[in-house]
Amino acid sequence: MIEAEKRGVAVALIQEPYVGSIGEMRGRRGVRVFQNTSVGDGVVKSAIAVFDQEVDVVQLPQLTTNNIVVVRIQTGAWVITLASVYLECPKHDHPIGADLDSLARIDREIGSAGWILGGDVNAKSVWWGSPVNDHRGEELAGCLDELNMAILNRGKIPTFDTIRGGKRYQSFVDITACSMNILDLIEDWRVEEGLTCSDHNGVVFHIKLEKSKGIGIIRTTRKYNSKKANWQEFNGKLNQLLRDKNITNSEIANIDNIDEIEDREGMWEGIYRVIGRTSRREEDLPLVKNGEVLDAKGSAKFLAETFYPEDLTTSDNEQHQDTRRKAEMVNAGEQVGTV
């Protein structure tokens, strides 16, 4: 809180605040704190602190719980809803589905107004910087996609960074996301080390106080993870396609109508063809039998012997022998009685 005031932070989305024995975050002179006012048997896990006294803030109690705090802030140019979110750690056996329903309810109730979500989600996804996905991350990413929200996380600095027992632990479990219709109002998202005294790094971003003029351009690639793209290979394949189709600068300069730039090949056919060219085809590994690497013919024989073994009588038990005897009688045209 003190560091936020020093840095001139206007609004802070806080998760797992210090609550002491009272179960809720204590206020501070000159700082408005918004949190669940009917804690009940639980404790506050999320809060929103407003440092700028000129910011007009209204809490939405019908959408607020111990883990999710929702407020509406307003300037002369726009109205934005903020949600500070803490999704329980998986070890607490708390299913993420109920939390995702809460996020969907927020989106539903605020209507067309834009909103920003920020918090500790205890979920991993490549979309917000984690090197791996877990099932919670996949479910949350799917929910944000359905809500048409853009993930703002950028860079490679982990949001969780601590040392325990002489070992360093890092992860990317804190996210910021916003409605697509206010994406052009948000800029300079970054992780700041040393902003807090907890094991989570601080996240800072700016919201423009005025609406942007002109055409708003959505700058997100959440549906296509461009962070993992091999741009060198892409450029090489693109140049190859240009040569194959004999597309030159002079040809492009001579185009004078839309019909001339249309390709007879459908969009998806073209995409799948390019993927087919750029994807590395994996060859089947040779089979090994008794330490010997088999060739194609030997591998086929080994597969046949494994899945279609020879029917030998030497391994028959009494039941198998009886079945075989009856089958031979049927094949010979004799009638087989049953008991």
What's the burial of 237, exposed, middle or buried (CB within 10 Å: 0-12/13-18/19+)? middle
pTM of the model: 0.62
Q: Burial code of 36-71, b = ≥16 C-beta within 10 A, e = fewer?
A: beeeeeebbbbbbbbbeeeeeeebbeebbbbbbbbb
CATH 3.60.10.10 fits 2-207, yes or no: yes
For all residues of the chain together, what is the average pLDDT? 79
Digit-coded pLDDT (tens) for 142-180:
999 999 999 999 888 888 888 888 888 888 999 999 999
The string of pLDDT tens digits covering residues 289-325 is 887 878 878 888 888 888 777 777 777 778 878 887 8
Domain boundaries, the chain: 2-207, 230-278, 288-331
Q: What's the average model confidence in pLDDT over 232-254? A: 78
Sign of the torsion formed by the C-alpha atoms of 147, 150, 155 and 157: negative
- φ, ψ for residue 12, nearest 5 deg: -125, 130
Whether 28 shows a pLDDT value over 70: the answer reads yes
Per-residue pLDDT tens digits for 29-62: 888 999 988 766 688 899 999 988 888 999 999 9
| Contact of 97 with 139, CB cutoff 8 Å | yes
pLDDT at 143: 93
